[in-house]
């Protein structure tokens, strides 16, 4: 919003008055800010540019009327004419007696400083103060109507007359709205609020799925609907078509300055391809699917999660479920996830558009800022052959993957605009009714426009926009004013000229869109501008701006081209952080970003509808605006609300870490900083990055100590213990748990106390101290029963049952499982019920009833698949594979092992490979068995090196080595014996030995030479 007044005067006879006026206005309470050349001109800048910019950005022009200033050839005339073009209010100030207003300004009433300067000064102050009120705005609009009516009386061409009449009608309509605001302000404001509330209700509704225009699958809306006047780009389009046809190529990057038409060209081609044909008579071309992603989009942006989910939408439900499980596994690397995804696109042609990619890049280096996105694109290039093809449009060339398999990539630079006559045709077609004068302009003049703009499409659109916004300006005049500007610079100049010729409300509407960044409905603009434009109804303004090529529209939402967004933002003062809570609204970036963030906060769906990342679009947009507005504490509060229970729960661990990392070192509130660091630790722990997790847990603990709040560090202590447990430092983990346990008890946090007890019990169980583990679980059961926490009680009981199963006391184990199931049902916890069923099935197998366990595991697979819990999906399939193996259904066992490996959970990888090896060996495929046993042995050894006290991996290694003995590596029998001995030294409980004995006996049936006879004695069960 402009904040200064330009003083237009003649130095010959008005200099002293102008200086005196500037000083007096500055001394008013409140001060009136003015721009006066003698006070504000910068000696290091171009004079004409400074003068023009001061008029462009002023609130109004104070025209000092003296003998010289009203002369037709006075420089003052250039200034007030320019102000009229920029739709500025002109306030004439009479200083010299007897001078008359220029004819073009005759509808305006001057303020008489000649007769009574002091009285005039106060009248001027009141006039300036009133300008932003409805009454003041009506006065300015009436002046514009008078100017238009004068022009109408002199207009000769019917088209020009029609255009002026339409302008007058629009101005009168705006006056009527302002008059209503004066007459009934409460009713108008109530209508605005009702409109905003209705709009909020609409945006909270689920997005309507886009129907495919032709048979096929096309995910998300294209970022741009190609204009009907699209011209040329035949060679460039052909090069993209050649890329799509070439099965060997994977990524094509289209690089060009803003406004050159990259997105329009690509979207035009893809729209044609959706119908099975290339444009420009390029022949047939079919695709299996297209996924559109753009950083100008409100929802489907250029991110790794959106790439993964967008491509998954093209697949069958079964395949999508499997891939989602891979994605949600926090320990799955981006490369592994992408390779699994690409395996679903082995051939054919699937197109992924990544539009506005420059937003993902560091402008200085061209490097991709997001690690996940960088790794994903690199993995796509390095993967085995597949059917995915990526198109990237960007203003900045990415450097990260330029040298990764360059033979699989192509780059097309759009260095030039449209040639003649295509540029001229664009101008004619934009002015399809001839009102602007381009349709029927002389060919030579349009050719000059092509040369001056370089044919850049956005520059051509802005030429049209300037002429649409200002009928007093001719194409010839614009070309004359830009003749010294290089074509590659002219777009930026025309952007500013076009913007400045809009009225103040239209400018603010564009600035509101610039602040929002992503496409928003009109009511969002109304919400943002209602403190500054009472009675705002932006829908009509937005439609007008769309018709004038200033704004783009997509499915009822409006947004700006990036060039226009940059300029509109540059015209908003940055302001101060205090503007967010100022008593009177301040039109600054800080204030607007805060209000825009509040809009997205209000636009959230009800919490019960938060089910996918798409449902989090308002929260993520709010987060971005909070960060842009440097309100990191509010951003942290928001993130802590959605990270653990939603983003991480859905598997978006990398996204959660990226967002939290952006806040580190910027949060002022130490409590928020503590919890942000703690949740970063949680995310990195789930991703298997234990050392990084430890660093953030320790940072969180330090902040708690600085705050002298020991109870608050208990959560991070618990996480720290889990990390050290995972790293094989069991004793250190137990020591940390003891510290945490005491803090939980001191804080009276019984729920947390039970969790720590269970974690300690799990460590004892993993290292073979089964009876110590049972004590911990029993303590946890007592606590959770006391506080009636049924979920916790169920988890305690299932762990307790598993420990009795380790002891071989199956009756006691099953009793605990029954009690656990009752708790899980009371808590309506299907996840826990599936865990219990899996444990019951395992007991059935160990008791010798493998076939009876099969239906149990099949049922748990369904449950885990429905809730997408990777560990459960893997363990249920692994146990079903074991059941099939023990029932000697080898084909089914092999299939289920493959399914388990597709849902890989690293702790179970050795055992799954052992089961696969036994089944394939028993089926006569020694080669596949040997490979599986070798993998099992290697993976088990990796765990042993990390955590030598974990007995399960010693058993796994020994059995894998026995398998290798039967596959020809007979010398491994000695290593197998040593591993069995090591395992039993760590834990030789009856149930533990029994479950490995079952697998050993299944393997031994393939031992035709008796090679494993000796080792069988090592697996004897103690009494």
Q: Which residues pair with 390 in a beta bridge?
A: 251, 352
Query: Which span out of 4-13, 396-405, 545-554 was modeled with the highest average pLDDT?
Result: 4-13
User: Is the predicted pLDDT of residue 884 greater than 90, yes or no?
Assistant: yes
Write the CATH number of the domain with boundaries 904-1022.
Answer: 1.25.40
User: Is the predicted pLDDT of residue 62 greater than 70, yes or no?
Assistant: yes
Predicted local confidence at residue 865, as pLDDT: 81
For 466-531, the three-class secondary structure string (H helix, E strand, C coil) is HHHHCCCCCHHHHHHHCCCCCHHHHHHHHHHHHHHCCCHHHHHHHHHHHHHCCCECHHHHHHHHCC
Residue 434 banded pLDDT, cuts 50, 70, 90: confident
Predicted local confidence at residue 146, as pLDDT: 92
Calculate the alpha carbon distances from 583 to 399, 525, 887 in Å: 47, 21, 77
User: Is the predicted pLDDT of residue 2 greater than 80, yes or no?
Assistant: no
Write the CATH number of the domain with boundaries 224-414.
Answer: 3.40.50.300
Predicted local confidence at residue 757, as pLDDT: 96
CATH 1.25.40, the chain: domain bounds:
904-1022
Predicted local confidence at residue 486, as pLDDT: 65
**573 near 540, Cβ under 8 Å?**
no
Residue 958 host element (H or E): helix 951-966
Query: Which span out of 65-74, 231-240, 272-281 was modeled with the highest average pLDDT?
Result: 65-74
Dihedral of CA 485/487/493/494: which sign? positive
Distance from C-alpha of 395 to C-alpha of 534, rounded to nearest angstrom: 38
CATH 3.40.50.10140, the chain: domain bounds:
5-131
The CA-to-CA distance between both ends of the chain, in Å, stands at: 87
The dihedral region occupied by 906, where left means phi > 0, alpha psi between -120 and 50, and beta the remainder, is: alpha
Residue with more model confidence, 323 or 598: 598
User: Is the predicted pLDDT of residue 196 greater than 50, yes or no?
Assistant: yes
Over residues 251-255, the mean pLDDT reads 94
User: Is the predicted pLDDT of residue 367 greater than 90, yes or no?
Assistant: yes
**631 near 663, Cβ under 8 Å?**
no
Residue 210 banded pLDDT, cuts 50, 70, 90: very low
Calculate the alpha carbon distances from 317 to 662, 865, 901 in Å: 35, 11, 19
The predicted-structure confidence for 539-573, as pLDDT tens digits, reads as follows: 999 999 998 889 998 888 999 988 899 999 999 99
Token digits of residue 307: 């790439």
Dihedral of CA 810/813/818/824: which sign? negative
Residue with more model confidence, 785 or 221: 785
Predicted local confidence at residue 208, as pLDDT: 52
Residue 1022 banded pLDDT, cuts 50, 70, 90: low
| C-alpha of 73 from chain center | 56
Over residues 765-779, the mean pLDDT reads 95
Over residues 718-723, the mean pLDDT reads 93
Backbone phi and psi for residue 73, each to the nearest 5 degrees, phi listed first = -100, 10
Cα angle for residues 637, 642, 645 (degrees, 5° grid): 130
Calculate the alpha carbon distances from 137 to 120, 132, 690, 904 in Å: 21, 6, 63, 67
Residue 1023 banded pLDDT, cuts 50, 70, 90: very low
Residue 213 banded pLDDT, cuts 50, 70, 90: very low
Closest CA to 654 of 681, 627, 684: 684
Predicted local confidence at residue 352, as pLDDT: 96
Predicted local confidence at residue 297, as pLDDT: 73
Coil, strand or helix: which one is 111? Answer: strand
User: Is the predicted pLDDT of residue 436 greater than 80, yes or no?
Assistant: yes
Q: What CATH number matches the domain at 5-131, 3.20.20.70, 1.10.3210.10, 1.10.510.10, 3.40.50.10140?
A: 3.40.50.10140
The predicted-structure confidence for 83-101, as pLDDT tens digits, reads as follows: 999 999 999 999 999 999 9
Residue 94 host element (H or E): strand 89-94
Cα angle for residues 765, 771, 772 (degrees, 5° grid): 70
- Average pLDDT taken over every residue of the chain: 91
User: Is the predicted pLDDT of residue 578 greater than 80, yes or no?
Assistant: yes
Count of other CB atoms within 10 angstroms of residue 627 = 19
Predicted local confidence at residue 156, as pLDDT: 87
Question: E strands, 381-469, where?
Answer: 388-394, 409-414
% of the chain at pLDDT higher than 90: 69
Over residues 17-36, the mean pLDDT reads 92
Predicted local confidence at residue 379, as pLDDT: 94
Long-range contacts of 146-155 (CB under 8 A, 24+ apart): 146/107, 147/84, 147/104, 147/107, 150/104, 150/107, 151/471, 151/472
Distance from C-alpha of 857 to C-alpha of 863, rounded to nearest angstrom: 10
Closest CA to 795 of 763, 731, 751: 751
User: Is the predicted pLDDT of residue 974 greater than 70, yes or no?
Assistant: yes
Distance from C-alpha of 92 to C-alpha of 69, rounded to nearest angstrom: 11
Distance from C-alpha of 276 to C-alpha of 287, rounded to nearest angstrom: 7
Closest CA to 270 of 209, 221, 231, 211: 221
| C-alpha of 38 from chain center | 48
Backbone phi and psi for residue 126, each to the nearest 5 degrees, phi listed first = -65, -40
In the chain, DSSP finds a helix count (H) and a strand count (E) of 45, 15
The predicted-structure confidence for 441-466, as pLDDT tens digits, reads as follows: 899 999 998 888 888 888 888 888 88
The predicted-structure confidence for 466-524, as pLDDT tens digits, reads as follows: 888 888 888 888 888 887 776 767 788 888 888 988 999 999 999 999 999 889 999 99
CATH 3.40.50.300, the chain: domain bounds:
224-414
């Amino acid at each position: 919003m402009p904040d200064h007044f330009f003083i237009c005067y003649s130095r010959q006879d008005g200099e002293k008055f102008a200086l005196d006026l500037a000083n007096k206005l500055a001394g008013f309470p409140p001060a009136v800010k003015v721009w006066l050349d003698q006070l504000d001109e910068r000696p290091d800048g171009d004079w004409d540019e400074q003068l023009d910019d001061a008029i462009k950005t002023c609130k109004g022009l104070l025209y000092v009327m003296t003998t010289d200033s009203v002369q037709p050839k006075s420089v003052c005339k250039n200034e007030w004419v320019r102000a009229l073009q920029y739709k500025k209010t002109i306030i004439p100030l009479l200083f010299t007696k007897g001078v008359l207003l220029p004819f073009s300004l005759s509808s305006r009433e001057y303020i008489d400083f000649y007769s009574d300067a002091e009285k005039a000064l106060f009248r001027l102050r009141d006039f300036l103060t009133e300008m932003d009120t409805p009454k003041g705005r009506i006065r300015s609009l009436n002046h514009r109507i008078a100017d238009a009516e004068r022009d109408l009386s002199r207009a000769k061409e019917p088209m020009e007359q029609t255009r002026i009449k339409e302008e007058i009608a629009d101005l009168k309509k705006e006056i009527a709205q302002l008059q209503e605001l004066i007459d009934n302000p409460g009713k108008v404001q109530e209508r605005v609020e009702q409109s905003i509330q209705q709009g909020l209700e609409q945006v909270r509704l689920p997005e309507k799925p886009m129907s495919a225009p032709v048979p096929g699958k096309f995910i998300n809306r294209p970022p741009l609907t190609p204009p009907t006047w699209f011209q040329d780009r035949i060679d460039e389009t052909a090069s993209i078509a050649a890329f799509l046809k070439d099965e060997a190529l994977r990524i094509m990057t289209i690089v060009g300055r803003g406004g050159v038409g990259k997105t329009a060209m690509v979207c035009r081609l893809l729209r044609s391809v959706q119908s099975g044909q290339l444009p420009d008579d390029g022949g047939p071309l079919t695709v299996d699917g297209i996924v559109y992603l753009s950083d100008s989009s409100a929802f489907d942006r250029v991110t790794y999660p959106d790439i993964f989910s967008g491509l998954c939408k093209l697949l069958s439900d079964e395949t999508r479920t499997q891939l989602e499980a891979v994605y949600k596994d926090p320990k799955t690397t981006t490369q592994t996830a992408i390779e699994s995804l690409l395996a679903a696109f082995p051939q054919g042609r699937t197109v992924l558009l990544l539009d506005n990619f420059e937003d993902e890049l560091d402008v200085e280096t061209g490097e991709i800022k997001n690690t996940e996105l960088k790794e994903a694109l690199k993995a796509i290039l390095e993967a085995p052959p597949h059917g995915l093809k990526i198109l990237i449009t960007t203003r900045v060339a990415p450097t990260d993957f330029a040298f990764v398999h360059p033979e699989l990539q192509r780059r097309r630079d759009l260095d030039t605009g449209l040639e003649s006559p295509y540029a001229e045709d664009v101008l004619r077609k934009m002015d399809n009714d001839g009102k602007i004068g381009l349709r029927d302009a002389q060919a030579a003049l349009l050719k000059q426009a092509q040369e001056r703009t370089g044919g850049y499409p956005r520059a051509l659109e802005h030429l049209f926009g300037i002429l649409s916004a200002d009928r007093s300006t001719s194409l010839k005049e614009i070309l004359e004013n830009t003749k010294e500007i290089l074509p590659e610079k002219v777009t930026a100049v025309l952007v500013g000229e076009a913007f400045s010729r809009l009225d103040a409300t239209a400018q603010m509407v564009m600035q509101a869109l610039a602040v929002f960044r992503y496409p928003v409905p009109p009511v969002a603009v109304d919400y943002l501008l209602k403190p500054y434009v009472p009675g705002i109804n932006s829908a009509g303004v937005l439609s007008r701006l769309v018709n004038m090529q200033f704004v783009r529209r997509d499915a009822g939402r409006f947004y700006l081209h990036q060039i226009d967004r940059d300029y509109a933002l540059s015209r908003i003062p940055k302001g101060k952080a205090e503007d967010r809570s100022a008593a009177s609204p301040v039109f600054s970036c800080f204030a607007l970003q805060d209000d825009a963030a509040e809009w997205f906060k209000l636009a959230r769906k009800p919490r019960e509808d938060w089910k996918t990342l798409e449902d989090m679009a308002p929260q993520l947009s709010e987060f971005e605006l909070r960060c842009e507005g440097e309100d990191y504490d509010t951003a942290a509060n928001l993130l802590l609300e959605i990270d653990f229970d939603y983003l991480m729960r859905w598997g978006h661990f990398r996204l959660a870490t990226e967002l939290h990392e952006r806040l580190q070192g910027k949060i002022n509130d130490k409590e928020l900083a503590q919890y942000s660091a703690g949740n970063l630790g949680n995310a990195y722990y789930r991703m298997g990055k234990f050392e990084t997790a430890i660093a953030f847990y320790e940072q969180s603990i330090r902040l708690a100590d600085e705050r002298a709040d020991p109870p608050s560090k208990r959560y991070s202590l618990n996480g720290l213990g889990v990390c050290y447990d995972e790293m094989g430092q069991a004793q250190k983990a137990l020591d940390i748990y003891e510290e945490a346990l005491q803090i939980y008890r001191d804080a009276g946090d019984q729920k947390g106390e039970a969790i720590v007890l269970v974690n300690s019990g799990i460590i004892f169980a993993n290292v073979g101290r089964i009876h110590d583990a049972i004590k911990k679980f029993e303590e946890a059961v007592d606590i959770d029963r006391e506080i009636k926490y049924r979920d916790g009680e169920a988890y305690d009981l299932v762990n307790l049952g598993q420990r009795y199963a380790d002891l071989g006391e199956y009756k006691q184990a099953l009793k605990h499982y029954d009690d656990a199931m009752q708790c899980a049902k009371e808590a309506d916890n299907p996840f826990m019920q599936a865990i219990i069923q899996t444990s019951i099935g395992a007991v059935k197998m160990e008791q010798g009833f493998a076939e009876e366990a099969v239906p149990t595991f099949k049922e748990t697979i369904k449950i885990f698949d429905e809730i997408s819990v990777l560990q459960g999906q893997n363990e249920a399939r692994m146990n079903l594979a074991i059941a099939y193996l023990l029932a000697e259904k080898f084909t089914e066992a092999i299939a289920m092992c493959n399914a388990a490996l597709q849902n890989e959970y690293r702790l179970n990888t050795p055992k799954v490979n052992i089961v696969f090896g036994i089944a394939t060996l028993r089926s006569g495929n020694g080669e596949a068995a040997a490979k599986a046993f070798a993998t099992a042995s290697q993976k088990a050894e990796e765990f042993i090196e990390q955590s030598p006290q974990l007995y399960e991996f010693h058993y796994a290694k020994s059995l894998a080595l026995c398998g290798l003995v039967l596959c020809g590596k007979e010398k491994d029998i000695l290593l197998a014996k040593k591993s069995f001995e090591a395992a039993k030294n760590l834990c030789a409980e009856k149930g533990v030995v029994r479950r490995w004995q079952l697998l050993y006996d299944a393997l031994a049936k393939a031992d035709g030479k008796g090679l494993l006879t000796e080792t069988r004695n090592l697996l004897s069960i103690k009494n």
